[in-house]
Each structure stands twice: as C-alpha cells, then as structure tokens.
C-alpha cells in the first residue's frame, strides 16, 4: 500500500482526473437528453397539433439536462 501511495504521489494524476470528470459527468446527461427528445418526438408524432406546446418544454428540459454535462466540462478546465 505504501508503494501504491508513493506511486500515486509521484505520478501526475491531474490528466486522469480531468478525463474522468468529463467522461463520467456526461453519461447521465447523455441518457437524459436522449429521453427528453425521444419523448418529445413521440408526443409530436402522436399529435402533431401539440408541437407548439411541446417544443418550448422540450428545449427547457434539454437545457436543464445538459447543464450537468456542462458542469463537468467546466470542472475539466478547473482541474488542470
């Protein structure tokens, strides 16, 4: 364990952290954005007259879901 701790101190872990933070941060929002748009597409396909009602809510939901992925992107720059 001592060797592991020493190796971790010696190695530069910042790039690994940078890569991990954005990679892990974008899994959830990717699925969420896919869900938002798939449900919006289904809603508009079932009832095309509802497109005007669905579209603003779709964009609002997309913005909120993508916010977390963008936080990961910001942390990428903050780490290193």
Partner 1 sequence: MRLLAAAEGAEFHVPTIAELFEWVPFATYKLAGITFHLSWMIVFLFATVALLTLIWVIGFANFKLVPSGLQNFLEVGVDFVRENIVHPTIGPEGERFMPFLTSMFFFVFSLNVLGIIPGIQFPITSRMAFPAFLALLSYVLFLFVGIRSQGFGHYFGGIMFPSGVPKPIYLILTPVEVLSTLIFRPLTLAVRLFANMVAGHVMLAIFFGATAYFLLHGEGILLRVLSPFPFVMSIILVGFELFIAGIQAFIFTILTAVYIAGAMHPEH
Residues of this chain that bind partner 1 (CB under 8 A): 51-52, 55-56, 59-60, 62-64, 66-67, 70, 73-74
Burial code (b: 16+ CB inside 10 Å, e: under 16) for 56-79 equals: eebeebbeebbeebeebeeebeeb
Q: What would the two tokens of residue 45 be?
A: 């396909």
Least distance from partner 1 to the Cβ atom of residue 27, Å: 16
**In the complex, least distance from residue 18 CB atom to partner 1, rounded to whole angstroms:** 11
In angstroms, rounded to a whole number, what is the distance separating the alpha carbons of residues 68 and 59?
A: 15
4/56 with CB nearer partner 1? 56
Which is nearer to partner 1, 6 or 50 (by Cβ)?
50
């Amino acid at each position: 364990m001592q060797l592991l701790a020493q190796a971790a101190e010696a190695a530069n872990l910042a790039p690994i952290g940078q890569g991990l933070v954005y990679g892990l941060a974008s899994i959830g929002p990717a699925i969420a954005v896919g869900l938002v748009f798939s449900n919006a597409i289904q809603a508009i396909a079932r009832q095309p007259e509802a497109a005007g009602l669905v579209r603003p809510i779709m964009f609002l939901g997309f913005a909120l879901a993508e916010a977390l992925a963008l936080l990961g992107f910001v942390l990428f720059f903050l780490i290193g």
